[in-house]
Amino acid sequence: MRYIYNFFLCLILPFLPLRFLWRSRKNKAYRKHLLERFGFLGFQAIKESIWVHAVSLGESIAAVPLIKEMLKQYPGLPIVVTTMTPTGAQAIKKNFPNQVIHLYVPFDYPFVVKRFLNQINPKILIIMETELWPNILYYTAKRNVPIILNNARLSDRSFAGYKKVRKFMQPVLDCITMVLAQSELDGERFLKLGLKPKKLLVTGNIKFDIEISEASLAKAGELRSVIGQERPVWVAASTHKNEEEKVLVAAKKLLEILPDALLILVPRHPERFDFVFDLCESQGFNTVKYSNIKEYTNSTNIILGDVMGQMLMFYGACDLAFVGGSLIPWGGHNLLEPAALAKPVLSGPHLSSFVAISQMLDDARGLVVANDEKALAEKLIELFQDEKLRESLGQAALNVVESYRGATKKTLKIIEKLVV
């Protein structure tokens, strides 16, 4: 099956650089690091390393506590962190400006993967969540390098897709040394795809081990001082195409009841910042970009969060937090960041990527789900008018985070057994 996969990879090889050059129109990092994706790293081979792969922003943020602990535990061993997207790269570089080696993950061609492995010589590969590249797994395992699928999860959509190619998935999963699953449901799904039971361990979700730095809290305090302590402030975080329009409908309805309410709107993808800013302006909102925060006045309706890696600051400065990717059929985003700051957490109904976490928060009465933009506006109005309810929801959300910490320590124990 892998030979068939490689055959199709060869067919698309001439078009692959073109795709990334096309994407570089909006983000130059896609063009700048193209050779890197083909395994040309521009430095001499490393004798040995720890390789951590985090595909995008969410996985990169989740990997931060683990990487910090490994830096302490293995001070003499270089840590190579690969990402697929520039947003993931920015998160790693922001948290580890000099401590780790960041690279873009190699394209999954045998000749590229071999070149890459010869350059970094990993003692272990730790893949965050679910990023199963057949050749990367095959050639890494062939070198007798242990592979951990950490914080592993399978959403409804991913599980349905992998089931259709179960025969192909079996040899892929055989390459993995251990799957450390987020939940029992995720573990069961890996077993149904063909993972051997002895390779499965349910360790919990590493995202519960989120760290709130003093720097983030200080920045949040500074932003709130600019905004003003008395204004009702809410964040709409990690929003997507066709979702901002729904958020703005809710914002308008809220302003009818609370004219001084302020929205901090943070699109998921930086290439959409300008579009979303223009959208807000076209709908009559007095909008200021965070990068131009000096232009903020009491008549500002929306602050557009046009910076990356500052979500905890925005959450820290707000009274309520709506987490996007959930008013449209995307699957949601990380609900635990606002929860860790004891903020009331709101979401849309589409949470297929965070089923276990949303259920935990819902069971603890730490999550408010709005089925559409009208319901979102109603929930916002209700919460802004009831301080005790806000405090109760925020504390319940924080209690969930505190109750389920510990996945990082479990992961480190497994790594310690495998890094020899």
Tens digit of pLDDT at every position of the chain (420 positions)? 777 888 888 888 888 878 877 877 777 777 778 889 999 998 999 999 999 999 888 899 899 999 999 999 999 999 999 999 888 999 999 899 999 999 999 999 999 999 999 999 999 999 999 889 999 999 999 999 999 999 999 988 889 888 888 888 899 999 999 999 999 999 999 999 999 999 999 999 999 999 898 999 999 999 999 999 999 999 999 999 999 999 999 999 999 999 999 999 999 998 899 999 999 999 999 999 999 999 999 999 999 999 988 999 999 999 999 999 999 999 999 999 999 999 999 999 999 888 889 999 999 999 999 999 999 999 999 999 999 999 999 999 999 999 999 999 999 999 999 997
The first and second tokens of residue 166, run together, are: 């179960």
Helix axes 184-192, 156-163, angle to 10 degrees: 10
The first and second tokens of residue 13, run together, are: 């090889």
Check if the beta carbon of residue 155 is closer than 8 Å to that of residue 354.
no
Neighbour tally for 267: CB within 10 Å: 25
CA–CA dist 224, 83 (Å, integer): 33
59 is catalytic: yes
The amino acid sitting at 76 is G
Backbone CA torsion sign across 270, 271, 274, 279: negative
CA–CA dist 15, 38 (Å, integer): 14
Three-state DSSP class for residue 148: strand
CA–CA dist 169, 2 (Å, integer): 10
The length of the chain in residues reads 420
Neighbour tally for 157: CB within 10 Å: 12
Domains in the chain, start-ordered, CATH in brackets?
21-205+405-418 (3.40.50.11720), 214-403 (3.40.50.2000)
304: left (phi over 0), alpha (psi -120 to 50) or beta: beta
CA–CA dist 240, 237 (Å, integer): 9
Catalytic residue among 36, 59, 129, 378: 59
pTM of the prediction? 0.85
- The CA angle 215-221-226, to the nearest 5 degrees, is 130
CA distances from 315 to 70, 111, 138, 177, 234 (A): 28, 44, 41, 37, 8
CA distances from 76 to 18, 87, 119, 144, 395 (A): 39, 28, 18, 21, 41
Strand bridging mode 287-289 / 320-323: unpaired
